[in-house]
């Protein structure tokens, strides 16, 4: 029973982490290697707003998300827009920005393990004999709610449809009068906000540490690849797949194989089905 409960929790947290990355890659084909940095900087900015400026927790969340979205948009507008297309420079560019943000935070004194965010609700209850704390349940609910909102957003709103159009075929979207750079900036901003939401949900469980930035980047790449680069629906399904395999390995094989399994999943998926579960792999099924 606890496998199911903690499996879903682990999977939802993986899905939250990966959603931002999948959104950005889906729309603008830019692999955003600064995703981990956006995740962490949202945690720290929320901490600063709450502790240094004394604004209460609820508003500081929204303020931090807004700042994150702004950083994402600025990052795209001034740096990534010039290197779109040259995929090596994209990777290096976004990784360098991520590095600058993370190491800048570390230089700015955000070292050590004493920074954390308060939990939404204290205490825990027993579900089917398994003690689960409120915050994790809340995280699951918000996660599912977020996915539903995202689905509605991309299917029924103007911007959402434009983003999806861009994802399928950028040139066709251009022909229909969708300003691709604006859309890509918006996508990057949304990606940053999604990373921020993931941070504000997951970080209260532990503490805000710069290293988890790199860890989040690796895991979100893992999930997006298994789910098929570009399709965020695939990312969610893949998150559940990897989440449960991790929990199962911990229970049956041995907890220290947990990481090995996650990375093995990526390598196997790429070899067997490079386009992932849902992805439409353009290069491979090239028209002969």
Q: Enumerate residues 6-45 that contact another protein by CB under 8 A.
A: 6, 9-10, 13, 31
Is the CB of residue 37 less than 8 Å from the CB of residue 110? no
- Give the Cβ contact number of residue 92 at 10 Å: 13
Nearest CA-CA partner of 32 in 265, 283, 216, 226? 216
Half-sphere exposure at residue 126, Cβ-oriented, CA atoms within 13 angstroms: 2
Q: Does residue number 52 form part of the binding site for another protein (CB under 8 A)?
A: no
283 binds another protein (CB under 8 A): yes
- The interface with another protein within residues 183-212 (CB under 8 A) comprises 202, 205-207, 209-212
Helices (H), ranges, the chain: 2-28, 35-51, 57-75, 81-83, 87-107, 134-156, 158-168, 170-175, 180-202, 211-227, 232-248, 258-272
The three-class DSSP label of residue 274 is coil
Per CB under 8 A, contacts with another protein among 69-128 are 79, 82-83, 86-89, 91-93, 95-97, 99-100, 103-104, 106-107, 111-116, 118-119, 123-124
* 53 near another protein, rule: CB under 8 A: no
At its nearest, how many Å lie between another protein and the CB of residue 156?
Answer: 28
Using CB under 8 A as the binding rule, whether residue 273 contacts another protein is answered as no
Site for another protein in 225-264 (CB under 8 A): 225, 229, 247, 250-251, 254-260, 263-264
Tokens describing residue 205? 């469980």
Q: How far is the CB of 25 from another protein (least distance, A)?
A: 9
Among 59, 70, 131, 141, binds another protein (CB under 8 A): 131
């Amino acid at each position: 029973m606890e496998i199911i409960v903690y499996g879903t929790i682990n999977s939802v947290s993986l899905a939250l982490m990966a959603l931002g990355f999948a959104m950005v890659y889906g729309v603008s084909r830019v692999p955003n290697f600064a995703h981990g940095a956006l995740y962490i900087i949202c945690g720290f900015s929320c901490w600063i707003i709450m502790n240094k400026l004394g604004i209460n927790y609820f508003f500081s969340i929204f303020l931090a998300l807004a700042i994150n979205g702004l950083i994402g948009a600025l990052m795209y507008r001034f740096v990534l827009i010039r290197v779109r297309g040259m995929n090596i420079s994209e990777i290096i560019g976004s990784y360098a920005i991520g590095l600058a943000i993370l190491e800048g935070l570390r230089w700015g004194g955000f070292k050590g393990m004493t920074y954390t965010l308060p939990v939404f609700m204290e205490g825990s209850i027993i579900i089917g004999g398994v003690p689960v704390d409120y915050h994790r349940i809340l995280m699951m609910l918000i996660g599912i709610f977020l996915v539903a909102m995202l689905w509605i957003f991309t299917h029924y709103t103007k911007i959402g449809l434009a983003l999806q159009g861009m994802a399928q075929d950028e040139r066709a979207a251009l022909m229909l009068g969708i300003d691709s750079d604006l859309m890509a900036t918006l996508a990057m901003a949304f990606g940053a906000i999604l990373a921020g939401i993931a941070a504000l949900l997951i970080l209260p469980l532990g503490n805000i540490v710069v290293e988890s930035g790199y860890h989040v980047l690796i895991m979100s790449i893992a999930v997006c690849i298994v789910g098929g680069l570009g399709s965020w629906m695939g990312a969610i399904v893949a998150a559940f797949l990897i989440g449960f395999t991790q929990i199962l390995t911990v229970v049956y094989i041995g907890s220290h194989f947990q990481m090995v399994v996650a990375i093995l999943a990526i390598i196997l998926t790429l070899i067997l089905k490079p386009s992932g579960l849902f992805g439409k792999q353009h290069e491979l099924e090239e028209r002969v």
